[in-house]
Chains A and B, each alone.
Chain A
Amino acid sequence: MSLLEIENATKLYPISGGLLGKEKQLCALNQFSMNLEAEPASITTIAGESGSGKSTIANLVLGFTSLSSGSIRFRGKDVNKMSSAELFDYRKNVQAVFQDPFGVYNPFYRIHHIFKMAIKHFKLATNKQEGRDLIEEALNVVGLRGEEVLEKFPHQLSGGQRQRMMMARAYMIRPRVIVADEPVSMVDASLRAAILDVMLKMRDQQGISFLYITHDLSTAYQIGDRIFILYQGNVVESGDTVAVIDQPKHPYVQLLIDSVPAPDPDENWGEQIDVPDEEETRFSDAIGCRYLGRCPQKTDLCASKAPILKPFSSGSPHQVSCHLYD
């Protein structure tokens, strides 16, 4: 059964101006489609740089912003047409972990506030003791103990601890999907593994699926099952994580993987590349391929017609959006 189905999701933002007073629009996300099955639980990576649209996908799924067109269906029901009871159920089953482990805690309250809020509104416990047990169990999963951390204020804990507590909170609610928006980018390298490990445990032991949103291909390579790579609002390549990263087809993905510095001084970065500065190509009236300005292998067709996402070879789950493979 499909758990979360996103179909042709598009998000447009109006930007004022235009010579004739015609309102131009910025297309932050263009026709994005993705299907998450209920079983087996999986970690789907949504990768891209800034401006790629990955945060827009997170905001759309979490209900912080609304679609311009397309649909999001949870367990077959369109989110836009849900009753308030169904929406409440959606909230409970789709949770999030964010990038900034400091801003998510209200500095006025102690740390236990975010747990208590979730327990109260989602009615997770019938009395105080049950609630406390629930919190303690969740903290143990991430390797923390309640008596060490719950009574402290956010600024008294380290970034790694705060991030783990966010994970614990998400776990405690037992959602079906967790949207993890750059969960380890602001955490030290030594603690990253701990947090990624928790994600794997939650997938394998609790059947929780993840939407892992990141710009870091290395961590995606280590834990992702499927990957979507976005550029300026469009999916340029998607498929099995290992297949896509080992054998990238799209020129942008190739550039991206080449640009990750290898921790081996003998494996050189190569020549100084000269990539022209990105121009804003996300306007809704743009024609042709969005990557045109920077692509070393462009053809005439690329300027006039935008490529569409299709399998690299027939029947393959590995999909590319590039005229080179038409």
Chain B
Amino acid sequence: MSESSVQKTLQVRDLKVYYDTPTGDIKAVDGISFDVHKGECLGIVGESGCGKSTAAYGILRLVQHPGKVAGGTVEVDGSNVSNFSEEEFRKIRATKLALIPQGAMNSLNPTMSIGAQIRDLILTHSGSSARAQLKERIDGLLRKVGLPLRVATMFPHELSGGMKQRVCIAIGIALNPSLVIADESTSALDVVVQRIVAQTLKNVQREMGVSMIMIGHDMGLMAQMVDRIAVMYAGKMVEISPTREFFNNPRHPYSKVLIEAIPSLKERKPLKLVEGITHDPRNPPPGCIYQLRCPFAEDVCRSKPPVWQQLKKSHQVACHLIKDEDHVAA
């Protein structure tokens, strides 16, 4: 299946986000490339500090000083937005690219009703011409996320955590964007509520055919929710693969560590101890970014950075240890 035949909602190439500090640049995101196909849900996983949230903010040009987007291109629905002016980019934010940020449910305006907040958003972006069908539109959004219509008149403090999070999802999809980025949408929620909200998100995504990026660290959640998984480590992308293939056959040593660290509800196993990111983010080691933690590191790993390789079953990895016969025939 050639890449050009399937439409891509998002194409990111070599994105870099650096933080300027007096002792050097912190390379929070150091040259990552990935695609999001139309209608698919891509999961980005990694431990804290790996740069997954920063990457989302970089794509949306929401990085604040002293951080800056230091390179790379972003294409949305085929058009290169990297050279858009601030004004032009502001127009596509929320209308083409939507973000449901981490902790969104705590950022709802406590003095406005839910309906008023959604109305504000719609009117700001679509102008007053949208006023006529406002109520229907808001009702439709609430129905899509499984909330009763009376929520439109309620205030954030009257709602439970799960309901607030679903309101945030409704706000995210309100302007029919092409791509929704959900950053840790369920981390603060109880297990049962998390299931409801996650399933709501999935339903919304399927019904609307909107493309989605889910950022998180809960591998179990990812297994249930996303079509493809992308793994980040210390600012670099190390593996991208369809979900089933990823869990059956993880190729990168770090991916294997992540999967093994998942505590199981089925059997008791001795705990496997693992360290955190060990290198200085201002001074990444030459060669492979994972070399300091990798039990299989060889000399080539310490000197040359690994190349992004295409394997069978749409599986992509950056690792020197992958054998040739797994490669896709050219």
Contact = CB atoms under 8 A, between A and B. Distances in A.
B271 interface: yes
Contacts of A221: 263-265, 268
A49 B191 CA distance: 7
| Chain B interface extent, by class | 35 or more
A188 B47 contact: yes
Given A193-B273, A275-B192, A265 B244 contact: yes
A159 interface: yes
Given A259-B192, A268-B224, A193 B265 contact: no
A189 B223 contact: no
A324 interface: no
A27 B46 CA distance: 40
A222 B262 CA distance: 11
B262 A189 contact: yes
A117 interface: no
A222 B275 CA distance: 19
A283 B258 CA distance: 43
A265 B247 contact: yes
Contacts of B271: 193, 196-197, 200, 222-223
Contact of B162 (A200, A215, A277): A277
A262 B163 contact: no
Contacts of A259: 191-192, 194-195
A269 interface: yes
A259 B275 CA distance: 29
Given A188-B217, A191-B274, A262 B224 contact: yes
| Chain A interface extent, by class | 35 or more
Contacts of A193: 261, 271-274
A68 to B, nearest CB: 25
Given A191-B276, A277-B163, A264 B191 contact: no
Interface in A267-294: 268-269, 272-273, 275, 277-278
Nearest to A222: B263
A273 B263 contact: no
Given A158-B276, A221-B263, A261-B218, A50 B224 contact: no
A314 to B, nearest CB: 28
A218 B273 CA distance: 16
Contacts of B219: 189, 263
A148 interface: no
A263 B261 contact: no
Contacts of A3: none
Contacts of A200: 271
A260 interface: yes
B261 A189 contact: yes
B204 to A, nearest CB: 12
A255 B192 contact: yes
B190 interface: yes
Contacts of A295: none
A190 B261 contact: yes
A190 B274 contact: yes
A278 B190 CA distance: 12
A189 B272 CA distance: 11
A240 to B, nearest CB: 12
A261 B224 contact: yes
Contacts of B265: 217-218, 221, 245, 257, 260, 262
B257 interface: yes
Interface string B161-200: 1110000000000000000000000000011111110110
B220 interface: yes
Contacts of A242: 268
B276 A215 contact: no
Given A159-B48, A191-B274, A245-B265, 16 more contacts: A49-B193, A158-B276, A189-B262, A218-B263, A221-B263, A221-B268, A256-B191, A256-B192, A259-B192, A260-B191, A261-B195, A261-B223, A262-B220, A262-B224, A265-B247, A273-B195
29 contacts: A50-B190, A158-B49, A158-B276, A160-B276, A188-B48, A188-B276, A189-B217, A189-B258, A189-B261, A190-B257, A190-B258, A190-B261, A192-B261, A193-B261, A194-B274, A217-B191, A222-B271, A257-B265, A259-B192, A262-B223, A262-B265, A263-B219, A265-B247, A269-B195, A269-B199, A273-B196, A273-B199, A275-B196, A278-B160
Give the 4 A-B CB pairs with smallest separation, nearest first. A261-B220, A49-B190, A218-B263, A259-B195
Interface of B: 47-49, 160-163, 190-196, 198-199, 203, 217-225, 243-244, 247, 257-259, 261-265, 268-269, 271-276
Interface of A: 49-50, 158-160, 188-194, 196-197, 200, 215-219, 221-223, 242, 245, 255-257, 259-266, 268-269, 272-273, 275, 277-278
